[in-house]
Amino acid sequence: MSIQTLEFQHLTFHYPDQSLDLFSDLNLSIGSGWTALIGANGGGKSTLLKLACNQLKPLSGAVLHPPLCIYVPQRTDEIPPTYADFALSYDALACKLHGQLGLDRDYPSRWETLSHGERKRAQIAWALYRESDLLCVDEPTNHLDQNAIHLIISALQLHRGIGLLVSHDREVLDALCTTTVEVQSPFVTKLACPPSQAMEEMRKLRLSAETSYREQGKELRCLVREKQRRRSVAQVQDVRNSKRHIDAKDHDAKARIDGFRVSGGDKVAGRLSRQLDTRLSNQLATKQSLFSSLSEMRALDLSKSSAGITLQGVKHPAKIVLDTDETVLSLGPDRRLFLPALTLSHTDRIGIRGPNGIGKSTLIRHLVPLFEEKSIRFWYLEQELDQEKSLCSYQKFEALDSQTKGRIVSTVVRLGSDARLFLQSALPSPGELRKLLLAQALESELSLLVLDEPTNHLDLPSRLALEAELGAFTGALLLISHDQSFLDKVCSTWWDIASIADSLDSELLVH
């Protein structure tokens, strides 16, 4: 009989380049069905998935998992190891998954030309075809349009074993998961409820912890003041009961002090002062315990807002920053994207919409060289950086002077990351790398932002911070996103790319 639960037993782990443990003496049990792993970027969610699937080995302790474990990574660079076999399989499940997720059979031969959204659907289908006992899926909805997201939800509902799901998309998490594990290294806590409810519970726990900490602080301050008062009384009493300053011939004064000492009255004030020492010691221990609990609640509470960022926008001197003629872009051997004449003013806020694989990123890559030719101060955020580009970006950051690095790390922290964990990493998580790139962009005054799926990999607090800042950015904006709510808050003009009827081609329409 296969193992029906996933068990982390006294697990301790950190990466070789780190000195602090990500997890220490972790004990956690997860049963069948989908469990959400939620938390801020860089908090250890992906690491926990890899430990569960035996992709990483703990330094101590053990992970007891079912025999067949599948891990679906965030990145889509590499084709799954046995994907070609899946693509050539025509049994009932293979046909169902190909149809349900809209996959073509020739994906293995053209993986490099697929959009990230198409690759993500293929990753999910391949993993489900393996019918594993434990399926760990890391950010399955990055790059996907709403239709594809609903297809992914339906497909993942087919899994009948233990499922671990990392995502910042609450719609997906709530549709699939009945249990939630909140992760922010070194803290891990499990709640027997869907993610949205778990986030609300954690918010309440954080508010309750803050109230307890404040109330305990008031009580402690009262005790400290009373201790100081009693110490002062005792000191005054000691002075009054001392014969040091009494005239040697003042026998009456000496007799009064001797009588007071015999009665024990000289020790009352000191005894009353010392009686508070135990209470103060207990209150200080309680304060430390409450502070530790509050630190954990604050770390795990995703509803708290980030401090925010500031994008230094400046209008380009020329009112028109882009003016092109009609053209046609190639999307592959048999597909084309027809573009009308396009104009972009120095204050336009344009949202680019369309389904996966329709040509949105191709359009952006076509426009970027045109901006470079005009010497426009712009920043281009690619939809995804592969492992090599990610490492290169981080190495450039590492080579900066300490003052510049300090400013950038400060911005990354304001976006919700832990500076301690960020600076210890040899390569940040995709979400933290996204924040790093944003932070580096803030070092310059920009006239144009060209952003391809900027919220991919970002946690909820940093998404809200980015949304607020883009809304206030004074330059021009060219933005691709599948998040319509996000687009509505920051864009006012639309470039929609849609398929041309009875054709493999597509066209761009300006609204």
Kindly indicate the confidence band of residue 444, based on its pLDDT and cuts at 50, 70 and 90.
confident
Mean pLDDT of all residues in 278-297: 79
What's the CA gap between 261 and 241, in Å, rounded?
Answer: 8
pLDDT recorded at residue 1: 38
DSSP-assigned beta bridge partners for residue 71? 136
Best CA proximity match to 162, nearest among 47, 49, 23, 73: 49
Please report which residue ranges of 358-493 form alpha helices under DSSP H: 360-373, 387-398, 402-414, 419-424, 430-441, 460-472, 484-490
Mean pLDDT of all residues in 468-488: 86
Best CA proximity match to 80, nearest among 33, 135, 145: 135
What's the CA gap between 233 and 269, in Å, rounded?
Answer: 6
Burial of 477: CB neighbours in 10 Å, binned 0-12, 13-18, 19+ = buried
What's the CA gap between 499 and 30, in Å, rounded?
Answer: 44
pLDDT recorded at residue 493: 94
pLDDT recorded at residue 417: 72
Mean pLDDT of all residues in 148-154: 90
Give the range among 21-30, 204-213, 225-234, 439-448 with minimum mean pLDDT.
225-234
What's the CA gap between 157 and 176, in Å, rounded?
Answer: 7
pLDDT recorded at residue 258: 59
Best CA proximity match to 483, nearest among 385, 337, 352: 352
pLDDT recorded at residue 266: 45
**What's the chain's average pLDDT?**
85
Across 191-200, 293-302, 466-475, the highest mean pLDDT is recorded for: 191-200
Query: What are 61-101's pLDDT values in tens digits?
Result: 999 999 899 999 988 989 999 999 999 999 999 999 999 99
For 449, the enclosing helix (H) or strand (E) is strand 448-452
Give the range among 15-19, 57-61, 231-235, 249-253 with minimum mean pLDDT.
249-253
**What is the domain partition of the chain in residue ranges?**
6-193, 203-300, 320-510
Kindly indicate the confidence band of residue 32, based on its pLDDT and cuts at 50, 70 and 90.
very high
DSSP-assigned beta bridge partners for residue 337? 329, 506
Q: Which two tokens stand for residue 75?
A: 């990145």
Mean pLDDT of all residues in 212-240: 77
pLDDT recorded at residue 332: 81
Name the pTM for this structure: 0.70
pLDDT tops 90 at residue 479: yes
pLDDT tops 90 at residue 220: no
Q: What is the dihedral of CA 29, 33, 34, 39, to 10 degrees?
A: -20
Q: Fold for domain 6-193?
A: Rossmann fold (3.40.50)
pLDDT recorded at residue 236: 65
Give me the sheet containing 69-72, strands edge to edge: 69-72, 134-138, 162-166, 33-38, 179-184, 187-191
What's the CA gap between 173 and 35, in Å, rounded?
Answer: 9
What's the CA gap between 136 and 73, in Å, rounded?
Answer: 8
Does 6-193 match 320-510 in CATH topology? yes
The percentage of the chain sitting over the pLDDT mark of 70, rounded to a whole number, equals 88
Query: What are 319-339's pLDDT values in tens digits?
Result: 999 999 999 999 988 899 999
The DSSP secondary-structure symbol of 395 reads: H
What's the CA gap between 233 and 226, in Å, rounded?
Answer: 11
The phi and psi torsions of 178 (rounded to 5 degrees) equal: -110, -10
Best CA proximity match to 352, nearest among 363, 342, 341: 363
What's the CA gap between 190 and 357, in Å, rounded?
Answer: 38
Burial of 215: CB neighbours in 10 Å, binned 0-12, 13-18, 19+ = exposed
Kindly indicate the confidence band of residue 411, based on its pLDDT and cuts at 50, 70 and 90.
confident
pLDDT tops 90 at residue 108: yes
Kindly indicate the confidence band of residue 394, based on its pLDDT and cuts at 50, 70 and 90.
confident
For 206, the enclosing helix (H) or strand (E) is helix 195-240
Asked if residue 382 lies in contact with residue 480, where contact means CB atoms within 8 angstroms, the answer is no
CATH value of 320-510 in 3.40.50.300, 3.30.200.20, 3.40.50.800, 3.40.50.2020: 3.40.50.300
pLDDT recorded at residue 33: 94
pLDDT recorded at residue 320: 93
| Residues found in the chain | 511
261 CB neighbour count, 10 Å cutoff: 12
Kindly indicate the confidence band of residue 247, based on its pLDDT and cuts at 50, 70 and 90.
low
The Cβ-side half-sphere exposure at 467, using a 13 Å CA radius, reads 19
